[in-house]
Amino acid sequence: MSVTTNRDGGLDTAPPPAPATGVDASSDDSSPEVSSRNDLSSDVEATTEFAVRTDGLTRNFGSQVAVDAVGLRVPRGAVYGFLGPNGSGKTTTIRMLLGLLHAHSGSIELLGEPMPAALGYVLPRVGALIEGPAFHPYVSGAQNLRRLDLSDATSDPATSRRRIADALARVGLTSAAGKRYRNYSLGMKQRLGLAAALLQPRDLLVLDEPTNGLDPQGTREVRNLVRELAADGTTVLVSSHLLSEVEQVATHVGIMANGRLLRQGSLAEVLAGGAAAAVQIATPDAPVAARAAAALGLTDVRVDEDSEAVTARLGNVAVEDVAAALVTAGVRVRGIQVQRPDLEDLFVSLTGEGFDVNR
Amino acid sequence: MSTVDSVMAGDSSTAAYGVRRRYPGAFRRMYQGEMRLLLLRRRNLALLAVLAAVPIFIGVAVKISAPSGEDGPEFLNQVTNNGLFLVFTALTVSLPFFLPLVIGVVAGDSIAGEAGSGTLRYLLTVPVTRGRLLALKIAGVGSFTALAVATIAASGLLIGAVLFGLGQLTLLSGDTVGVLNGLARAAGVTAYVIVAVFALAAGGLFVSTLTENAIAAMAATIGIAVLSALLDAIPQLSAIHGFLLTDHWLGFGELLRTSINVGDLVRWSGLHLAYTALFLSLAYARLVTKDVTS
């Protein structure tokens, strides 16, 4: 009856599939920087560059395209912030990654293995929190974890109780372990969901809105948890619409809107692709400063005589070079300030200001 | 079910990253977890209590006022002669409604309930592959169905023995057999009923793969039994009566004759098993292709 996917023999790393159809232009194949902590996983697997890789991933619901030719590239060891407004297709993508939804076209690789073909083989190494926690309400948190652990053919029954206790301790639920799930607060439920994802050491964690319902303290703990796990070599794919939170932990980001992956890459790359950084120079010699700035190659130079300031787009020029040029030109500088757009500015510029759900 | 197939040579650590080995006895452990969930749930215990109460009500009623004439369900008149008949009467009384109700609730809830509460997505990403999940649910629902029928039989036997005693059993054909022979026949009756009603449980499992709404799945499962009984009651449809799911549920009376018509019993049980196979195939086909969006 059972159709477990077992593989025997050596570990064959499947060759990466040829990109299917129109891969999003932004999801270029240039290898993103893989942080050095990735070196921890020194086995054969390290040769597979991406923990998550999709090509042309597409899924429709009726006539609506929920996910449209998405080409995710999550480097091993990265903390990948998966961003997008409500209804942008993040959760549908995550459900396809984990084999819950069928893709209508495109291919998926998790940890170098094709999904969903290698599902039984690869998912034990993946911890997931998908669209909020879900447990049986009439038994305790610990019993719920026990049930999940018993269901995992790759979990050692001898260490089950210890691992459950450890997971509960890690999310601060030890004192509520014996309480019925129905009596948990929203934050406690969320913590239990995280504990379930941490029952085993994971190579990849997929966390969909992990801080929903958590208090500021809990949010902070989750952030620290993600950092800790990443430091241990776990790749973390965290979907969120809390941008400041993602900006604090992510090494890479992908931004989705209307089912399309609009931007992807390391945080610095993606931010650099947005509105350019601007420099603001406070000086009584504004016209001279403006000429010096323009001579240096800064663009969009504006002089504001009233407030005695000059603004310009920085482009590729380093701010220290601007300072040096100003001094050389004899400009009396009161202050010089670089304004870099943050993730929120970029996000809003890509996905629009509107409050309405797009679809 | 599964043997140790250490996928990666030299991977002996239990708390390691990378590809993990499988531990033998995985299905048994998962089954234990499933049964614990089924039996910890108060609703399910209440259902079993209702079934256990059926023989108690009948037994006490008969004790207070012995039935006269041909009124009441089959075997009722024999209860005062031998407590063993309380088992048969209780099963007869439970088969049209109480058992379909209990089976409808547990089988209908089995997959739809997990889908509705969202626990299905977490089971599937553990991962429990879909075929294994269905096997688990078949084992769980099957065990609970057997437990439900056995509860009626055990309660009937106990109450019957206490109120009326277990003596020589007078069969429907008039012959008398000893206590042990009688108990063996009661066990046979229980087994026959388990196989018969498991066909309905299989129907419930299939319905349960169709929806995320557990209540709808429960109602639809009970509906299968009601529809079958309804069609069975329309004389103009007598041509199909023999093929209806519930038509032979009461066929266990055959086991209470001196010369048992084994051919009939096998044929009827074969029909029940055919229904089971049909429903479980449909459930499998549905579950492996299902999009889990809850």
Read off the pLDDT of residues B160-198 as tens digits, 9 standing for 90 and up. Answer: 999 998 888 888 888 888 889 999 999 999 999 999 999
Q: Are A111 and A53 in contact (CB under 8 A)?
A: no
pLDDT at B14 over 70: no
**HEC states along B124-188?**
HCCCCCHHHHHHHHHHHHHHHHHHHHHHHHHHHHHHHHHHHCCCCEECCCCCEECHHHHHHHHHH
**Test the B interface: residue of A154, A161, A166, A189 with most B CBs within 10 Å:** A154
Chain A residue with minimal CA distance to B7? A8
Chain A residue with minimal CA distance to B30? A151
Range ranked top by mean pLDDT from A117-121, A272-276, B60-64, B280-284: B280-284
Task: Give me the percent of chain A exceeding a pLDDT of 70.
Answer: 84
Q: Are A24 and A69 in contact (CB under 8 A)?
A: yes
Provide the H-helix boundaries in chain B. 26-40, 42-64, 84-94, 98-117, 119-124, 130-164, 179-210, 214-232, 238-241, 262-289
Contacts of A200 in chain B (CB under 8 A): 15, 20
Chain B residue with minimal CA distance to A200? B15
Residue A287: the pLDDT is 86
Amino acid found at B21: R
Q: What gap in Å lies between CA B167 and CA A219, rounded to an integer? A: 71
Out of A148, A150, A201, whose CB is closest to B16? A201
pLDDT at A266 over 70: yes
Contacts of B14 in chain A (CB under 8 A): 156, 158-159
CA angle A32, A38, A44 (to 5 degrees): 100
Q: Are B128 and A151 in contact (CB under 8 A)?
A: yes
A148 touches chain B (CB under 8 A): yes
Q: What is the largest CA-CA distance in chain B?
A: 78
Residue B244 or B15, more confident: B244
Q: Burial, A9: exposed, middle or buried (Cβ in 10 Å; 0-12, 13-18, 19+)?
A: exposed
pLDDT at B109 over 90: yes
| Beta-carbon separation of B126 and A151 below 8 A | yes
Task: Give me the percent of chain A exceeding a pLDDT of 90.
Answer: 41
Range ranked top by mean pLDDT from A336-345, B22-31, B272-281: B272-281
- The whole-number average pLDDT for the span B109-114 is 96
Out of A3, A6, A130, whose CB is closest to B121? A130
pLDDT at A62 over 50: yes
- Identify the residue whose tokens are 């029940």: B272
Would you place residue A24 in the very low, low, confident or very high pLDDT band (cuts 50, 70, 90)? very low
pLDDT at B230 over 80: yes
| B123 to A5, A141, A196, A336: CA distances (angstroms) | 16, 15, 11, 56
| Beta-carbon separation of A4 and B131 below 8 A | yes
Chain A residue with minimal CA distance to B40? A139
CB contact set of A272 (below 8 Å; sequence gap of 6+): none
Out of B41, B119, B291, whose CB is closest to A101? B291
Q: What gap in Å lies between CA B166 and CA B173, rounded to an integer? A: 19
pLDDT tens, residue by residue, A131-172: 889 999 999 999 999 999 999 999 899 999 999 999 999 999
Residue B215 or A352, more confident: B215
**Test the A interface: residue of B126, B284, B294 with most A CBs within 10 Å:** B126
pLDDT tens, residue by residue, A300-359: 888 887 778 888 887 778 888 888 888 888 888 888 888 877 778 788 878 776 555 554
Q: What gap in Å lies between CA A77 and CA B140, rounded to an integer? A: 40
Task: Give me the percent of chain B exceeding a pLDDT of 90.
Answer: 73
Out of A123, A153, A158, whose CB is closest to B125? A123
Residue B11: the pLDDT is 39
Task: State both tokens at A14.
Answer: 């499947």
Give the β-pairing of A235-240 and A73-75: unpaired
| A341 to A250, A311, B32: CA distances (angstroms) | 16, 15, 55
Residue A48: the pLDDT is 62
Residue A32: the pLDDT is 41
Question: Chain B closest CA to A156's CA: distance in Å?
Answer: 6
What integer best gives the mean pLDDT of chain A?
82
A271 touches chain B (CB under 8 A): no
Residue A316: the pLDDT is 76
pLDDT at A104 over 70: yes
Residue A179, number of CB atoms within 10 A of its CB: 14
Residue A199: the pLDDT is 94
Question: Chain A closest CA to B213's CA: distance in Å?
Answer: 15
Q: What gap in Å lies between CA B264 and CA B249, rounded to an integer? A: 12
Q: What gap in Å lies between CA A226 and CA B131, rounded to an integer? A: 33
Contacts of A101 in chain B (CB under 8 A): 291-293
Residue B30: the pLDDT is 93
pTM listed for this prediction: 0.81
**HEC states along chain A?**
CCCCCCCCCCCCCCCCCCCCCCCCCCCCCCCCCCCHHHHHCCCHHHHCCEEEEEEEEEEEECCEEEEEEECCEEECCCEEEEECCCCCCHHHHHHHHCCCCCCCEEEEEECCEEECCCHHHHHHHEEEECCCCCCCCCCEHHHHHHHHHHHCCCCCHHHHHHHHHHHHHHCCCHHHCCCEHHHCCHHHHHHHHHHHHCCCCCCEEEEECCCCCCCHHHHHHHHHHHHHHHHCCCEEEEEECCHHHHHHHCCEEEEEECCEEEEEEEHHHHHHCCCCCEEEEECCCHHHHHHHHHHHCCEEEEEECCCCEEEEECCCCCHHHHHHHHHHCCCCCCEEEEECCCHHHHHHHHHCCCCCCCC
Dihedral class, residue B243 (left if φ above 0, else alpha if ψ from -120 to 50, else beta)? alpha
Tell me which residue of B256, B251, B208 sits closest to B95, measured CA to CA. B251
Q: What gap in Å lies between CA B166 and CA B54, rounded to an integer? A: 19
- The whole-number average pLDDT for the span B142-155 is 97
| Count of pairs with CB atoms under 8 A, one residue in A, one in B | 150
pLDDT at A256 over 70: yes
B154-191 b/e (C-beta count within 10 Å ≥ 16 → b): ebbbbbbbebbebeebbbeeeeeeeeeebeebbebbbb
Out of B124, B129, B138, whose CB is closest to A100? B124
Residue B194: the pLDDT is 97
- The whole-number average pLDDT for the span B243-261 is 91
Residue A294: the pLDDT is 86
Chain A residue with minimal CA distance to B8? A10
ipTM: 0.83
